[in-house]
Structure 1
Amino acid sequence: MRLLKTILAASVASFVALPAFAQQQVTWWDFLAGGDGVRMKALIERFNEEHPDIQISGTTLEWGVPYYTKVRTSVAVGQGPDVMTYHLSRMPLGLSEDVLSEITDEDLKVAGLSRDDFFTRALEAASGEDGKLYAIPFDIHSIILYYNKSYFEGSEFLDEEGNLTGIDSLEAFERALAHAKDEGSTAPVSYATGDDGGVYRVFFTLLKQQGGDLIKDGEVLPGDSLDKAAKAIEIMTRWTENGWQPEQAEYEASVALFTSGKAAFHMNGVWEVPTMVDMADKGTLGFEWGAVQIPKLMEQQATWADSHAFAIPAQDMAPEKREAVLKVIGWMEKNGIEWAGAGHIPAYKPVAESPEFAEMEPNATYSKLAETAAYDPRSQIAGVASPVYDAAINVISPAIHGYLEPMQAAEQIKTELQSKLR
């Protein structure tokens, strides 16, 4: 009995002598709603289950200007999160406001990552003009071309396997639009013609496919980019005049035109892939569909794109906290296949090139756009919820509905945006 008491006492003393369990609390901010929000919350929950030593405390804030304003003000007073989601298109603004911490090669090593793990276009967009990295890309999301196969059965635009084919020029695409209209489509190509994002992304894609620049070296539509912008607007206007695209369609209406079977094509972000998949699984879509990258309609392949990324605020942080944050980011990247289920292309190449992603359709089909992704120009007035988006709804949308001549609209964009750069 005395021996047992001695052993128990020694055990208790040993237990008391052990250091207290140190758990790192990581404060996380994101702007992710809808399906993106559901998937991210699931990833956070799984990380917390697998890492009792690091716990993420997540908060979702309002998307757009409110989010980035909150980031700026909170970091300025040292009350920002430990890690946050960030659009790469907003990087120039973030750098100008000094809210982003540099992410070094040593940081990447702690996260179990390296620069070679990421697609070049995404890595460039995550870097400053000094070449330093200020965010770690999580995905590449772009607009893609959804299509309703029923409008093209037996035509030159559908191959024997039921895949879209033969659209390798603007002329071929417009021929497909005319064919779809003849087949009864009331909106051969649907996109949000009355929404800033929908109009901007289509316009920017057509501009970049001509090799044009929206902003370069502090100048808006430099050189022949003014003519190229006018041409992009002229094309979008022609689609209205021919009855190929809806007039003043809000975002939800543009999606509904496709899901209801009235639109043969739909230009929208990859984020609507889950909508199509869910409806098809439930048997409520009513037709077979597919999705491909926006075809090469002009001189070169290019597609508007952006990325969700992880950034660390520029504020004081203990080394052990930073290490925990980097481990969180590394884990998220390596488990990005779950995030790809939202339609995104993983920016982390080991996931994008994995057998699991190769079987994920239609993502795997359009994933090659990662190599030709066209990010917004490096400018404080570009990116999501920025003046360039305002120009899309205030100038380009009226123009494609006949209220301005294409060149008038291009000149107005140049004047208005240039004034904001002074």
Structure 2
Amino acid sequence: MTKQLTYGAAALAALSIMAGSVQAQETVIWWDFLSGGDGVRMKQLIDDFNAAHEGEITIDATTLEWGVPFYSKVQTSVAVGEAPDIMTYHASRIPLAVDQGVLQPLTAEDFEAMGVSEADYAPATWDAVTVDGQQYALPFDTHPIVLYYNKDILEANGLLTEDGLPVGLDSREAFTDTLMQLKEAGVQFPLASVTADGNFMFRTIYSLMAQQDGELMTDGEFLAGDNAEKLTNALSVLQEWTNEGLQSTYTDYPATVALFTSGEAAMMINGVWEVPTMTDLQEQGNLFEWGAVELPVIFDHAATYADSHAFAIPANQGSEMTPEKRAAVLEVMGWMAQNSLFWATAGHIPAYGPVTESADYQSMEPNATYSSLTENMIFDPKTPLAGVAGPIFDVMATYFVPTLNGEMDPAEAVDEIVYELNDM
């Protein structure tokens, strides 16, 4: 009897140890859409997190195809309760996600558990993940467009300031003059732009609208009041540069990057995510001296379009997350935010203020130079029709390409855009 009790006690003790181990080790299922340099860096962050939380939390990560395929899979997976525990999400897509019911809201207690607060974020970035006063994600970064420039070409033509910045960033006239001087000096393409892809050019055009305090949507109406005129102004500037031979025409994304990195284009408008491309080429000895800076002020004041990669928790139908699992997910979110300095090497601006305010970040170039644009950021309008790969992009892109390449009158294009957007 005593022996049986002893064996029974030992078995119970073993079960208790096993149960404790199961509770201590949480596996967090993760989905992202990050490829290229972004993907490499995120995989490193995930490895670092797993190493720091060995025996406690493990991230089991899967990378899916960017854009519509990713968001379609999220929607269908949530409906059957098979979505991940955490996923990356574009801030611009959150209004649609809320409309679809695919995201769990985050509470004040959640942010406290993450060790972050609203005060740690730029107001525009925090607002971008907020719908009707409720937060649905934790911003991880902001990834705006910037102006890349070839310092060697600009310096050779007397178009570099003492601070190492391009001359003419403060007005339409001054920047156009800089482009003209480069053309007259024999530079084949003063400016490289993705003029064959209207979805991409939305970023530049929306920035120029915002420099006039323009709004894409006002009280549920697209391009109300004088906003159509402001869009026309933005398109007119870009068409003028094309007609004058100052900007590349019908150029797709890879060709735009190639024009700049080959030295055929003196400047380029592109996303901060191309910083690793430039950094790697220069380290290999295959690139000139270069820099990146906030877009020039073409109209009234500085403004730049941006989006944010954020972390969100799917609202899995019929599959409630345990308190232990949620605690693990929140630990992942908070750790990623607080360790996002490495993410900045992808060119992105970390959303967590204490990181961008750190001495390490302030010494990181060109990131520190263009990070001032966070004070002038504008995000997509809050509508389920907006966001990455959303219907607004598709409608506008149809008219942007022929207009930017000099084949359609800007005012005529805007009339068609206004009709089609409001018809949606």
TM-score range, shorter chain: over 0.9
Q: What letter corresponds to residue 167 of structure 1 in structure 2?
A: L
The residue that corresponds to 1:409 in the other structure is 413
TM superposition shift of 1:163? 2.9
Moved over 6 A (4+): 12-15
| 1:292 is the counterpart of 2:288 | no
- Aligned partners of 2:203 and 2:305 also within 8 Å: yes
- Aligned partners of 1:167 and 1:295 also within 8 Å: yes
- Mapping 1:162-311, distance limit 5 Å: 162-285=164-287, 287-311=288-312
- Mapping 1:115-126, distance limit 5 Å: 115-126=118-129
Q: What letter corresponds to residue 313 of structure 2 in structure 1?
A: I
TM superposition shift of 1:13? 8.7
The residue that corresponds to 1:3 in the other structure is none
Please state whether the residue corresponding to 2:270 is helix, strand or coil: strand
The superposition leaves residues 41-67 of structure 1 with CA deviations (integer Å, 9 ceiling, x where unpaired) of: 111111111112111110111110111
- Aligned partners of 2:137 and 2:312 also within 8 Å: yes
Question: 1-side partners of 2:163 and 2:123: how far apart?
Answer: 32
Q: What letter corresponds to residue 73 of structure 2 in structure 1?
A: K
Q: What letter corresponds to residue 307 of structure 2 in structure 1?
A: D
Please state whether the residue corresponding to 2:213 is helix, strand or coil: coil
Question: 1-side partners of 2:174 and 2:168: how far apart?
Answer: 7
The residue that corresponds to 1:312 in the other structure is 313
Please state whether the residue corresponding to 1:57 is helix, strand or coil: strand
Larger mean CA deviation between 161-170 and 392-401 belongs to 161-170
Question: 2-side partners of 1:270 and 1:78: how far apart?
Answer: 35
The residue that corresponds to 2:368 in the other structure is 364
| 1:378 is the counterpart of 2:399 | no
| 1:108 is the counterpart of 2:111 | yes
- Mapping 1:38-117, distance limit 5 Å: 38-52=40-54, 53-117=56-120
TM superposition shift of 1:391? 2.7
- Aligned partners of 1:145 and 1:268 also within 8 Å: yes
TM superposition shift of 1:15? 7.0
TM superposition shift of 1:151? 2.5
| 1:391 is the counterpart of 2:392 | no
- Aligned partners of 2:209 and 2:230 also within 8 Å: yes
The residue that corresponds to 2:328 in the other structure is 324
> Percent of pairs identical after alignment?
49
| 1:25 is the counterpart of 2:27 | yes
Question: 2-side partners of 1:244 and 1:42: how far apart?
Answer: 41
Please state whether the residue corresponding to 2:189 is helix, strand or coil: coil
The answer for unaligned runs of 5 or more in structure 1 is 1-8
Question: 2-side partners of 1:387 and 1:190: how far apart?
Answer: 26
Structure 1 vs Structure 2 CA RMSD: 1.7
Residues 68, 14 of structure 1: alpha-carbon distance in 2 compared, 3 angstrom cutoff: closer
Larger mean CA deviation between 360-369 and 184-193 belongs to 184-193
The residue that corresponds to 1:150 in the other structure is 152
- Aligned partners of 1:191 and 1:198 also within 8 Å: no
Question: 1-side partners of 2:387 and 2:183: how far apart?
Answer: 34
- Give me the TM-score of the superposition, normalised by structure 1: 0.94
TM superposition shift of 1:69? 0.8
Question: 1-side partners of 2:112 and 2:83: how far apart?
Answer: 24
Please state whether the residue corresponding to 2:265 is helix, strand or coil: coil
The residue that corresponds to 2:341 in the other structure is 337
Work out the number of aligned pairs and report it.
409
- Aligned partners of 2:168 and 2:178 also within 8 Å: no
TM superposition shift of 1:152? 2.1
Larger mean CA deviation between 110-119 and 157-166 belongs to 157-166
Question: 2-side partners of 1:350 and 1:60: how far apart?
Answer: 28
- Aligned partners of 1:194 and 1:393 also within 8 Å: no
Residues 73, 164 of structure 1: alpha-carbon distance in 2 compared, 3 angstrom cutoff: same
The residue that corresponds to 1:6 in the other structure is none
TM superposition shift of 1:219? 0.7
TM superposition shift of 1:298? 0.8
TM superposition shift of 1:161? 4.5
Question: 2-side partners of 1:300 and 1:75: how far apart?
Answer: 42
Q: What letter corresponds to residue 20 of structure 1 in structure 2?
A: G
The superposition leaves residues 272-303 of structure 1 with CA deviations (integer Å, 9 ceiling, x where unpaired) of: 01111111111111x21111011222112110
The residue that corresponds to 1:138 in the other structure is 140
Q: What letter corresponds to residue 418 of structure 1 in structure 2?
A: N
The answer for unaligned runs of 5 or more in structure 2 is 1-6
- Give me the TM-score of the superposition, normalised by structure 2: 0.93
Residues 120, 262 of structure 1: alpha-carbon distance in 2 compared, 3 angstrom cutoff: same
- Aligned partners of 1:199 and 1:396 also within 8 Å: yes
The residue that corresponds to 2:3 in the other structure is none
Please state whether the residue corresponding to 2:20 is helix, strand or coil: coil
Larger mean CA deviation between 148-157 and 345-354 belongs to 148-157
